[in-house]
Amino acid sequence: MAHPSSEFNDPEILRTCLQMLDDEGSKQEVRVAVETLLKLSRNLSSHPGDEKYRKIRKENKAIHEKLLRFEGAKEFLLAMGWTEIDDMLMYLEDHDLSVTTSILEEHLHTLPPPQTTVTSPSAATPAAPTETVSWTEAELKQRDEKLGKEKKRRMEEYQRMKKEREAIKKQIKEDRKDTQTREVKDSHARQLHFGANVKKFENRGGG
């Protein structure tokens, strides 16, 4: 049965990964990447026991072209629970992916529709003039600088959240280890106490 997890599928981290992805490719490339992520998420939800939907070969050219060449897409996979093992990405978790799927669907709606191939020259329509035509070189430079600063800010924010998540995970492991250590000590103490009582009983019996 799928269950929620505080370690994976954090909405804020997932959205930050998608923002990173937005900065790495064209609108159409980003759309293809988001559609592929959405397909993976839906397949895991629809076929929870099917192993073929739980592994991705990193050498797969199609997967690399659509997803893995983008850092944002790769980080999204890791944030939703995929794990890198040698030349594979494996999904070893059993989480409820409804939030992840909703975030992907929401982001997909913000992207332009897929491009269609025009088969007849007569059916083609003149391309609308782009906004950048009227921009000066200084304005373009200013825009690029602004985008660069925003991308850096998003990356720093993601790294901060990632470190916090790893720190929480480490603390949970240490707490579990301390609990197990205390349980072992308590069990050993009970055994010693029981042994001492048995020895006293034998001594009284022999007297």
Question: Angle at the Cα of 81 (from 75 to 82), degrees rounded to 5?
Answer: 70
Instruction: Tell me which residue has tokens 């304005």.
Output: 139
One-letter amino acid of 91: Y
Question: Angle at the Cα of 166 (from 161 to 170), degrees rounded to 5?
Answer: 150
> How would you write the pLDDT of the chain (207 residues) with one tens digit per residue?
343 444 678 999 999 999 999 999 999 999 999 999 999 999 999 998 899 999 999 999 999 999 999 999 999 999 999 999 989 999 988 889 999 999 999 999 999 888 765 444 444 455 444 443 455 777 667 766 765 666 666 667 667 766 776 777 678 778 887 888 877 777 776 777 666 665 555 555 554
162 CB-contact burial (10 Å; exposed 0-12 / middle 13-18 / buried 19+): middle
Confidence at residue 82, expressed as pLDDT on a 0 to 100 scale? 94
Confidence at residue 3, expressed as pLDDT on a 0 to 100 scale? 36
Two tokens, residue 195: 């042994």
Specify whether the backbone of 43 is left (phi greater than 0), alpha (psi in -120 to 50) or beta. Answer: alpha
Confidence at residue 154, expressed as pLDDT on a 0 to 100 scale? 63
Distance in angstroms between the alpha carbons of the first and the last residue of the chain: 61
Confidence at residue 40, expressed as pLDDT on a 0 to 100 scale? 96
Q: What is the CA radius of gyration of the chain?
A: 27
CA distance 158 to 40: 22
Q: Are 80 and 9 in contact (CB under 8 A)?
A: yes
Query: pTM here?
Result: 0.58
Two tokens, residue 102: 């909703």
Count of beta carbons in the 10 Å neighbourhood of residue 159: 11
Reference 56, options 25, 78, 32, 89; nearest CA is 89
